Amino acid sequence: MTQGQYGGNGFYQPSGGYLQQPMQQPMQQPTVQQMQAQYAQQAGLLPLEQSYIENILRLNKGKPATIYMTYERGSSLGTQAYKGIIEAAGRDHIIISDPTTGKRSLLLMIYLDYVEFEGEVNYFYPTQPSTYQSR
């Protein structure tokens, strides 16, 4: 490479100027956030910054759980508990099934109080996947 008259590196052009050679950027290592996002995508989870509850439920798909929900005052439903196998979860819903009857229920997250699992809970926190014992 030649040194240009203005101090730049490049190739001489017949027009009298120098053509700058593009600089190659070094390979970058993926960040922790990029690796977490890739793991979440492979596990069928939403990106970490969007939600956690449905991600935890998705990690525990196929496990028995009891889902506790409270409905609006004045509703005849009050507080309800639903037992079943977690089939799916989305940003605003949970689908569970009762293996004895085959009945499936679509439950709205807006009414969710908490979820109890009968065994270990698969849990993914931003640093690594983990398994926690139920109490």
Fold of 52-135: SH3 type barrels. (2.30.30)
* Predicted structure pTM score: 0.57
Selection from 118, 130, 113 nearest residue 55 by Cα: 130
pLDDT at 128 over 90: no
Alpha-helical (H) ranges within 19-70 are: 32-42, 53-59
Rounded alpha-carbon distances, angstroms, from residue 68 to 56, 93, 130, 134: 16, 13, 24, 16
The percent of residues above 70 in pLDDT, for the chain, comes to 56
Domain spans in the chain, listed from the N-terminal domain onward: 52-135
CA distance 39 to 48: 10
Of the pLDDT bands very low, low, confident and very high (cuts 50, 70, 90), residue 72 is confident
Q: How many CB atoms lie within 10 A of CB 128?
A: 8
Of the pLDDT bands very low, low, confident and very high (cuts 50, 70, 90), residue 45 is low
Of the pLDDT bands very low, low, confident and very high (cuts 50, 70, 90), residue 49 is very low
